[in-house]
Amino acid sequence: MTRRIDCDVAIIGGGLVGSSAALALRGMGFSVTLLDKGFCGAQASGVNYGGVRRQGRPPEQLPLSQRAHAIWPRLKALIGIDGEFLRSGHLKLARSAADMASLESYAADVAPFGLALELVGHNQLRDRFGVAGEVIGGSFCPGDGHANPRLVATAFAAAARRAGAEVLENTKVIGLTRNGAGFALEAEGVSVTARTVINSAGAWADSFARAFGEPVPLERTYPSMVVTEPLDPFLGVNIGIEGGGIYARQVTRGNVVVGGERALPLDDPDYSRPRSDGVLTIMQRASELFGPLRHAQAIRFWSGTEATMPDRNPVIGPSATTPGLIHAFGFSGAGFQIAPGVGEVLAELVRDGRTATPIDVFAITRFPPASQPGDASQAAMTTGSKETSP
């Protein structure tokens, strides 16, 4: 029996982007249906590393990132839990003079945005932050931090539900058609009509964009994570490394989460698993950088599926072909921090058709249009086959 729902806004994808948009839209009084093919917060938003950092982002993301930055400390009031958010500071390390120079020039570039970056030398790294290993200096962003991703996205969805959003889990959207003034959306066991649709389907969002004549060069990436047994506190800050390698943080309970390298998709590319040599490499780098890790045990590895765009910037904004369709995906390994801000921006786009936060650089039109653009009024999509990118 197919259930019918009519609402103002249907949101495809209950990651942190979709869930925070749902909550913001409820706050504005819209009727909202949030659909996820699995459980809300079970994909990238719930399984990421948990870095809540502005430092290192392309400058064009910083206005949006700053907007999100103001939301993180208010989580308790907003969603009922603090999400284990810690404003620990984010310390980015440089292993070479060239890396240090690039940290310095980044600091100069983003000075107008007010991240209060502080450049630190080798001795300070050891004395203040307990970092050993071959590091020559770093850049410290005191206002950044980290949080528990497993809780945050799930709690946003739960808060949206409490606020009156219809949250449908295990409900995969398999068809989306533009009809009349709005959309008809088909999912397992339910059909939804909505005036506006938000495509926040994460690593699965490209099929919805393509169906409306807006193909995007979305690729999937699968970062690998290692977590240790609980250890005495030794790492107060969230660590990154200029040029990549690993990133590391210690949670209040004592476990150290270390990310880096890439996992490989399984036969079903919706799922992935860390490569053994990848996790061994992460473990090696981490134990070289931090003395206390040399005798620690790794208890768990995991990875997640993230949508990555070639220019490392997301797609956020209205569809160029289809009125009422709004895209928000492709956060390229850095969407966790920014997502609560994206949710507010999406709600403003629905309500006002515009937002004061600069997002023009994230327009989907920056990618070449389809060779045969779909007719926007007729466009329809059906998923079902698995979409894979190389």
Partner 1 sequence: MAERAPPLIVGAGPAGIRAAMTLVAAGLRPIVVDEGHACGGQIYRQPLSSDGRDAEARYGSEAAKALRLHRDFAALDTLIDYRPRSLLWNLRDGAGDILRDEGSQRVRYDGLILATGATDRVLPIPGWTLPGVFTLGGAQIALKAQGCAIGRRVVFAGSGPLLYLVAWQYMRAGVEVAAVLDAAPLSAKFNLLRALPLSPGIVLRGVRMAAELKLRGTRVVFGADRLAIEGEGRVARIVYQAGGRAHAIACDGVGYGLNLRSETQAADLAGCAFHFEPRDRAHLPVRDASGRSSAAGVYLAGDGARIAGADAAERAGERAALALLEDRGLPHDSSRAAVLERELQRIDRLRDVLEAAFPYPSHWGGDIADDTLLCRCEEISAGEARRAVSDFSLTEINRLKAVTRIGMGRCQGRMCGAAAAELLAAQTRRDIGAVGRLRAQAPIKPIPLAAGLSVHERQHDPAH
Ligand X SMILES: Cc1cc2nc3c(=O)[nH]c(=O)nc-3n(C[C@H](O)[C@H](O)[C@H](O)COP(=O)(O)OP(=O)(O)OC[C@H]3O[C@@H](n4cnc5c(N)ncnc54)[C@H](O)[C@@H]3O)c2cc1C
First to last CA, the chain: 38
User: Which of the choices partner 1, ligand X, none does residue 306 contact, using the CB cut-off of 5 to 8 A by kind?
Assistant: ligand X
Residue 54 contacts partner 1 per CB under 8 A: no
Residue 329 contacts ligand X per CB under 6 A: yes
Residue 104 contacts partner 1 per CB under 8 A: no
Residues 6+ apart with CB under 8 A from 287: 293, 294, 296
**Min separation Cβ 33 and partner 1, Å:** 16
Token pair in block for residue 20 = 């925070």
Residue 91: other Cβ atoms inside 10 A: 28
Count residues near partner 1 (CB under 8 A).
41
Residue 158 contacts partner 1 per CB under 8 A: yes
Three-state secondary structure of 255-274: CEEEEEEECEECCCCCCEEC
**Min separation Cβ 12 and ligand X, Å:** 5
Closer CB to partner 1, residue 158 or residue 338?
A: 158
Residue 313 contacts ligand X per CB under 6 A: no
Residue 14 contacts ligand X per CB under 6 A: yes
| Residues between 64 and 123 with contacts to ligand X, criterion CB under 6 A | none
Please report, for residues 15, 113, 138, 332, the alpha-carbon distance to residue 106 in angstroms, rounded to integers and kept in the order given: 30, 12, 12, 19
Q: Backbone dihedral region of 324: left (phi > 0), alpha (psi from -120 to 50 degrees) or beta?
A: left
Q: What backbone phi and psi angles, to 5 degrees, belong to 381?
A: -135, 150
Which member of 293, 315, 342, 359 binds partner 1 (CB under 8 A)? 293
User: Which of the choices ligand X, partner 1, none does residue 273 contact, using the CB cut-off of 5 to 8 A by kind?
Assistant: partner 1
Which member of 56, 304, 318, 340 binds ligand X (CB under 6 A)? 304
Token pair in block for residue 336 = 């966790």
Please report, for residues 34, 123, 245, the alpha-carbon distance to residue 17 in angstroms, rounded to integers and kept in the order given: 11, 40, 27
| Residues between 213 and 252 with contacts to partner 1, criterion CB under 8 A | 226, 228-229
Which member of 239, 241, 282, 339 binds partner 1 (CB under 8 A)? 282
Which member of 177, 281, 383, 389 binds partner 1 (CB under 8 A)? 281
Question: Which residue matches tokens 């709005």?
Answer: 182
Dihedral, 273, 276, 278, 279 alpha carbons, nearest 10: 90
Strand partners, 175: 186, 382
Q: Return the SS3 of 94.
A: strand
**What is the separation of C-alpha 318 from the centre of its chain, rounded to a whole number of angstroms?**
19
- List the x/- string, 183-222, binding to ligand X by CB under 6 A: -----------------xxxxx------------------
Binding residues vs partner 1 (CB under 8 A): 39, 41-42, 46, 80, 150-151, 154-155, 158, 161, 226, 228-229, 253, 266-267, 273-274, 276-277, 279-288, 293-302
Binding residues vs ligand X (CB under 6 A): 12-18, 35-38, 42-45, 47-51, 172-173, 200-204, 223, 225, 259, 303-304, 306, 329, 331, 333-337, 339, 383
